Chain A
């Protein structure tokens, strides 16, 4: 079984400050990890993914995430937050060793990011 935990329902940060949105995961094998962002009344937009290789992954809009296997974490970060970053952020995982060709993503419950001007 695979699962994702986003321990914070909401994160508030001042504009210009660094932001972190936390994610931990659980899989039996090795993970594929993803971050998506959801704006009101819009679908999920892909931000970045970790497949293999470098633990620091860079994505869209200046976001990056660091894969930490020992802590089973994949926290989303940005050095300087913008008001326009305010949205709902979802972490997702797939166990690439699940066998049986399962391609379903398991999502966390989401973290609402509010960037305060």
Chain B
């Protein structure tokens, strides 16, 4: 499978616990994005990386959230001291260069569904 992969697919945790999600983008995609989607809503942007550099963060990304992409390949999203309001689908996407230029077309993974009890 050459698509974006995310692990785990489902995570159930208790309030106050820390959780970490992993995203493996499509090979050679330089840009990687994280979104959050709650029921009945469209995805909301959280942050994005160009290679290993985190270039943009949404105000939705509170100080309990941290994302990394240490080698410019896979990325992790950690949520510390989870709250019930963090329950959502966390989506990862990646985008390639086309003809040497960055493209806006983002290819999404299946998501990680987080439930905070």
Contacts and interface: CB of A to CB of B under 8 A. Distances in A.
Interface of B: 4, 31, 33, 40-45, 48, 55-56, 58, 91, 93, 102, 104-111
Nearest to A36: B108
Contacts of B48: 103-104
Contacts, number: 60
B104 A103 contact: yes
Contact of B42 (A43, A102, A107): A107
B114 to A, nearest CB: 15
B108 A107 contact: no
A34 interface: yes
Report which residue of B40, B45, B56 has the largest number of chain A beta carbons within 10 angstroms of its beta carbon: B45
Contact of A46 (B42, B55, B105): B105
A101 B50 CA distance: 11
Given A36-B108, A43-B111, A46-B105, A102 B40 contact: no
B43 A49 contact: no
B56 A105 contact: no
Nearest to A92: B42
A49 B43 CA distance: 17
B10 to A, nearest CB: 10
Nearest to B110: A43
Contact of B43 (A41, A44, A94): A44
A105 B105 CA distance: 10
Contacts of A105: 33, 43, 45, 104, 106
18 contacts: A4-B42, A36-B108, A42-B110, A43-B91, A43-B109, A43-B110, A43-B111, A44-B93, A49-B105, A94-B104, A101-B55, A103-B33, A103-B56, A104-B48, A107-B42, A109-B42, A110-B40, A110-B41
A46 B107 contact: yes
B92 to A, nearest CB: 9
Nearest to A103: B48
Nearest to A94: B104
A61 B49 CA distance: 30
B108 A103 contact: no
B45 A32 contact: no
A26 interface: no
